[in-house]
Amino acid sequence: MQLFNNTAWRWWWLILLLIGLDQLTKQLVHQNMALFDSIELLPFFNLTYVRNYGAAFSFLSDAGGWQRWFFTILAVVISSVIAVWMSRLPRQQIKLGLALSLVFAGAIGNLIDRSIYGYVIDFFHLYYQTWHYPAFNIADSAICIGAALIIWDSFSSDSEAKK
């Protein structure tokens, strides 16, 4: 139990919550929308069901199938590294612990999709007039926010003092 009390693994509840919310929303979209269906929520925001066979922003999505296994292995390796990092990270490093938890949860959320379906379910779609941001999901959001927090933490003046 010390692993959860004295290290960054104290964020396990957030990891489970994000993975659960990510998977729940993806299942709701998958079961209730046809591929490419779109529901306008706001004048600049739709729920649009798309399948992402690649990485972020559909990078390598048309690469012929090998990318599924590449991104699956990459997610497993990154998640493993983060898990070890979190087990060694002192409890006092709140910002970095939170950041790693977000990246870990996002990686696992998308790994689940890729393992089950061979693609990741994306559905948040932001746009303005003719400009469209690539569709994304809760896991993608967690990864981006976590990565931003890691960068912020690396530039924080108190970052080195706590290591």
Comparing CA positions, the residue from 25, 26, 19 lying closest to residue 120 is 26
Q: Tokens representing 91?
A: 């409890």
DSSP 46-100: EEEEEEE-SSGGGTTTTS-SHHHHHHHHHHHHHHHHHHHHHHHSBTT-HHHHHHH
115: Cβ contacts below 8 Å, ≥ 6 apart:
72
95 vs 102: CA distance, rounded Å:
11
Catalytic residue chosen out of the listed positions 22, 62, 113, 122: 122
Q: Tokens representing 121?
A: 């379910």
113 carries an active-site annotation: no
140 carries an active-site annotation: yes
Q: Tokens representing 19?
A: 């993975």
Catalytic residue chosen out of the listed positions 22, 37, 62, 140: 140
Catalytic residue IDs = 122, 140
